[in-house]
Amino acid sequence: MSENALKSIDRLIARVDEDRWLSSRYAAPAQRAQLIALYGFNYELARVRLAVSEPTLGAIRFQWWREALEALSAQQSARRHTVTEALAATRVPDLVGPGTLLTLLDRHQDAFEAGDRTLEPEQALTAAACRIVAGRKGDAWSDVAGLAKTIEAYARARRGAQGDAPAGAVLKIRPALRPALAHLALRGPYQAGRSPSPLSKRWRVLLAVLTGRV
């Protein structure tokens, strides 16, 4: 996969998922590329609801990605798409564990079919990102389980459902996980109904990386 192709995904994530993109800037270069490939895959699944409304058309799109994952699992040539090529080149399926990408797909499909964004796999995505940046340094899934309420509060507030869930206590995350979690510090402004400015976002994410407080 060309470096330009990965850079194109990086630019896309900077535009459509700036919060996670900002956190990923603090990962080591190889991990940053893996995070971007993961987030690119998540975006392709999430945007099905923006591209189509008919259940049949949605099912066709999800099936395409399902078959693409099967090809990756069988170590066959990746289907021609920048995201599948990025996943293969960065070895994300191996890093996040068997079935994790399929879980993301299944839950996005469930959310699409039910018309319910609360079913989107925020915790599974976050756990996969933690596994990438933490490697073998502890159990990333356990870390994310401890942050479940914070992750849900962030996700709901970011979707505009502020005011229906408490902001929750400020928690401290260990250094290895900060490039995957620092953006959770933005949940406060979102829950207050504010969209932080680009400068404010960068400052809050930087503080979270430095202090571990989200």
How do the pLDDT tens digits run along the chain, 214 residues long?
567 778 999 999 999 999 999 999 999 999 999 999 999 999 999 999 999 989 999 999 999 999 999 988 877 666 678 999 999 899 999 999 879 999 999 999 999 999 999 999 999 999 999 999 987 555 666 677 788 888 988 999 988 755 555 556 788 899 999 999 999 999 989 988 888 999 999 999 999 999 999 9
Neighbours of 16 (CB within 10 A): 14
Q: DSSP 3-state assignment of 213?
A: strand
Neighbours of 57 (CB within 10 A): 12
CA distance 156 to 119: 11
List CB contacts of 8: < 8 A, sequence separation 6 or more.
82
Closest CA to 43 of 132, 89, 108: 108
CA distance 25 to 27: 6
**Taking a C-beta distance cutoff of 8 angstroms, is the pair 177, 130 a contact?**
yes
Buried-exposed string 138-169: b where 16+ CB fall within 10 A, e elsewhere: eebeebbeebeebbbbbbbbbeeebeebeebe
Q: Which helix (H) or strand (E) holds 133?
A: helix 122-134
Q: Which residues pair with 172 in a beta bridge?
A: 213
Position 38, amino acid = L
